[in-house]
Structures are given as structure tokens and as C-alpha cells.
Amino acid sequence: MEPTQVKSDKKKVVAVVGGGLVGALNACFFAKRGFEVQVYESREDIRTAKVVKGRSINLALSHRGPDGAEARGDGGEVACLFVQIVSQGIPMHARMIHSPDGKQSPIPYGKKGQFILSVDRANLNKQLLSGEKYIADGAKEHISVDLIVGCDGAFSAIRKQFLRRSRFNYSQTYIPHGYMELTMPPRDGDFAMKPHYLHIWPRNTFMMIALPNLDKTFTCTLFMPFEEFEKITTGDEVLEFFQKYFADAIPLIGADSLKRDYFRLPAQAMVSVKCSPYHIADKCVLMGDAAHAVVPFYGQGMNAGFEDCVVFDEIMDQFNEDLGVVLEEYTRVRVPDDHAIADLAMYNYIEMRAHVNSKWFLFRKVTFTRTRYHQAVKRWQWQDKVINRGLLVCGTGAVLGGSYLLFKNPPNMDKVNLDVEKMWNRLVSLGTS
């Protein structure tokens, strides 16, 4: 596909619908290119609001978001903005796994020196909206624009218009688990736990995580099936539940606070959204959760949204801002990656709540790069295949070696038959899994 030169003295107008994280960053990119940008947001201005409404799950900002945006910033305002954001985040170098008996075990994220950032959603949004020369607040008026960019979240009003069109694929899935947030206050003026970790309490069908904040608190998020949330109806039942599964967290959160805050708000739902294509001709495009809402268990929802902005900006360079070509290419490039991260997020919930202590978990990490999500999935599937085949080969070798020793030194045959049968059944299950 050859780029087409588009020349015009008229300043193009872009309407960004949604003033959240992805919408605000998009506005920065378009304004940097010289577009006239209007940002439309149905909620109150987050910069002046006394109470910030909406999702509040803490964010894990990885290299995919700021690194890509800084690279596009050419040392300018966008890059400086991300430097400021990074300075206000708390680096988490590893996961800290809390066992039921209170034992803590760290699992590093990557190589030495690599980390992800714990970032407050509201503060990050305010920072992205701080560039007044980039952002114009929307007004209730009819305007003519060259491009509409739908960044209005998982329940996007812009995406609803896509549903009226033929050959638009769309699916949404609510998972049976909800989430509830609790706060772990500072202890003696400092963090109640080690701050440079993402703390996880994996408990098979449910789990709790805790991310550090700049005010020395931890935001604790309990993920659990709705039916389990609904079983707990009194403060005493809350304490009984936590005593059984998260006993070490009770003195850190505080028993009274725990009984009060558990009932402050009901558990919130989580939805996964997939759709394609992401564009309509050269007039409209979807980005962020409007295009691909994901459950928050891979820590890539925001990063994938930021990467949407970066990839779109790269394609704008590649095709000289010819929107007809750019939007089609953006759909072609991003749909397989965004669908892949949606699937990875679903899978990682199982990993985090059940298998995070497994030594094989380290083989399944996505590295600190901009490797495309769907390529990472292919590598992960290949690793699984290699690992399982390796287990089968090693296990078979162990059986053969053991058989030779048994031949040379025959023990009680009734016991040997039983042990070999168990081992063989295990190897068969590994080889076919």
C-alpha cells in the first residue's frame, strides 16, 4: 500500500469523544500535528471535580505506554508529560505472593532494574489533561469535523453507531467475578507493607491484590465471584472470611475499617469487549476500551489503549496523514493485537489466582518490549508445547532409568507396580495437556 500525499491549507478538525486516559493522550498527539482538537466528555471536568466518578482500580503502567509515547514525543511536550507521570508513580519490581499462612515470596517481573509503575488513575488523567493548549472542553453545539475518535469507554456511544452498520463484528462477555476496593492505611507514617511490590493473595477461585500509593496507603482490590460476595452479609462474616483467607491483611487494613468498607459499595462488574473493524471510512475510529475493553488481570488495559495512540500516530507518519488509508491500516494492525490481549487478560486471571506460585509461570511472562500482543501469544503457546514435551521426555527418561535400577535391584513388586502406574499416568496426563 503506497502512501498518498495529502496537502491542504485548511486546518483539519478532530473531535475526540471521551476525556479519559486514551482520549486525553490522543488529543495531545493530534494537537501536536497541528489539528484543531475538541474533546467531548459527558462527566464533570476531572481537573476541578471534588469527587471523581468512574472506575478506580489502580493502574499498572508498563514500558509499552510511556516508552512508545516518549519515542513519538521527539523530546517535546508529550515526552515531558510522561516523564512527569513516571516521577509520580511507584515502581514495583516484583510480585509479592502472600500464602494463607502469611508467608511472603517475591517473583520478579523481568530482568534486574525492570519494573512496572503503580499509578493513580485520577491523577494520571489530570496530568494528561493538563496541557491546556492541546485540550479544548466540548460544548453542546453542532460542529463539522474531519474525524471523530471514539475513546468513550467500554459502553461507548460512538461504537453503538457502528452496530447499525453491516459487517461489524461485536461481542461482549461479563465474567462471573466482581471487584471491590479496600484501603490499607499507613502504619506509623510509612507503608504498612513493602511498597515496591504488587502484593497478591492468590486463593484459587478468588484473590486480592494491593498496589502502593504516593500517600503511603495501599489500594487493595478483592476479586471474587458475585455469589461469594453475596454470601457475606454482616461485619462478623467479613472478618470470618478474611481470617480464613487473608488473615495477615486484617491488622493492616483494620478490623473496624474492613467491616465498614466492605459494605460501602457493592461489588463492581467487569466486561471484556471485542469488535472489528475499528473504523468507518475516513470519518471515525475507535480506540481504547471503546474498541477493546479487557478485564484488568494482565495489567495491560491502559497500556494497550496508550499503544493504540502511538500506533495510530506512527501510521499517520507512514501514510502522510491520508485518513482514508490510515484508518484502514490501523484496523488491520491493531485488531489481532487487541483481541490477543483480551484473551491473555482472561487467562492471566487464572494464573494470578491459582498458579502464580508455579515455577512454570516464569516461562509465560510477556517481556518489557513492544512485541505485538498476538506474537507474544504465539510464543507463549510455543513455550507451553516445548515445556510439556520436555517434561514428557525427561519423565520418560526417569522412568527408563528407574526401570533399569529396579531390574538390577528388585524390591517388593507389589509396591513397584503401584508406583510405576502412578508415574506413567502422570506422564500421560502431562503429554496430552
Residue pLDDT, tens place only, 6-30: 445 678 999 999 988 899 889 989 9
- Shortest CA distance to 348 belongs to which of 383, 298, 302, 303? 298
- Same domain for 346 and 390, yes or no, is no
Model confidence, pTM: 0.76
5 lies in a domain? Answer: no
The H or E element spanning position 132 is none
pLDDT of residue 109: 76
* Residues 197 and 297 both lie in one domain: no
Q: Is residue 106 part of a domain?
A: no
Q: What is the pLDDT of residue 111?
A: 72
Same domain, 192 and 59: no
Mean pLDDT computed over every residue of the chain:
78
Query: Can you tell me the distance from the alpha carbon of 29 to that of 22, in angstroms, rounded to the nearest whole number?
Result: 11
What is the span of the domain harbouring residue 200?
Answer: 177-261
Between 75 and 154, name the one with better pLDDT.
Answer: 154
Q: Which of 362, 386, 417 is the last residue of a domain?
A: 362
Domain identity same for 254 and 387? no
Asked if residue 405 is part of any domain, the answer here is yes
Compute φ and ψ for 26, nearest 5 degrees. Answer: -60, -45
Q: With the CA atoms of 109, 113, 116 and 122 taken in that order, what torsion angle do they form, in degrees rounded to the nearest 10?
A: 160
Whether 3 is covered by a domain: the verdict is no
CA 367 and chain centroid, separation: 14
- Picking from 147, 184, 185, the residue whose alpha carbon sits closest to that of residue 312 is 147
Do 281 and 310 belong to one domain?
yes
Name the packing angle between helices 121-128 and 21-32 (round to 10°). 20
Query: Is the model more confident about 285 or about 398?
Result: 285
Q: Is there a single domain that holds both residue 168 and residue 185?
A: no
Q: Is the pLDDT assigned to residue 299 strictly greater than 80? A: no
Comparison of pLDDT for 125 and 185, the residue scoring more = 185
201 and 86 within one domain: no
Does residue 318 carry a pLDDT above 90? Answer: yes
Integer Cα distance of 378 and 391 in angstroms: 20
Domain count, the chain: 3
Amino acid at 315: I
* Nearest-angstrom CA–CA distance, 266 and 264: 7
Q: Does residue 351 contact residue 361 with C-beta atoms inside 8 Å?
A: yes
Structural domain includes residue 107: no
Whether the bond into 277 is cis, omega within 30 of 0? yes
DSSP 8-class letter at 351 = I
Looking at residue 386, its pLDDT comes to: 46
Of the two residues 31 and 363, the one the predictor is more confident about is 31
pLDDT at 399: 47
Q: What is the pLDDT of residues 136-153, one digit of tens each?
A: 554 566 789 999 999 999
pLDDT tens, residue by residue, 335-393: 999 999 888 888 776 666 665 544 444 334 453 556 666 666 666 555 555 444 554 54
By C-alpha distance, which of 349, 374, 316, 364 is closest to 223?
349
Query: In this structure, are 81 and 37 located in the same domain?
Result: yes
**Gap between the Cα atoms of 26 and 128, Å rounded:** 10
Q: Are 357 and 351 in contact (CB under 8 A)?
A: no
What DSSP character marks residue 124?
A: H
**402: in domain:** yes
Residue 340 lies in a domain: yes
**Residues 118 and 76 reside in one and the same domain:** yes
Instruction: Report yes or no on 411 lying in a domain.
Output: yes
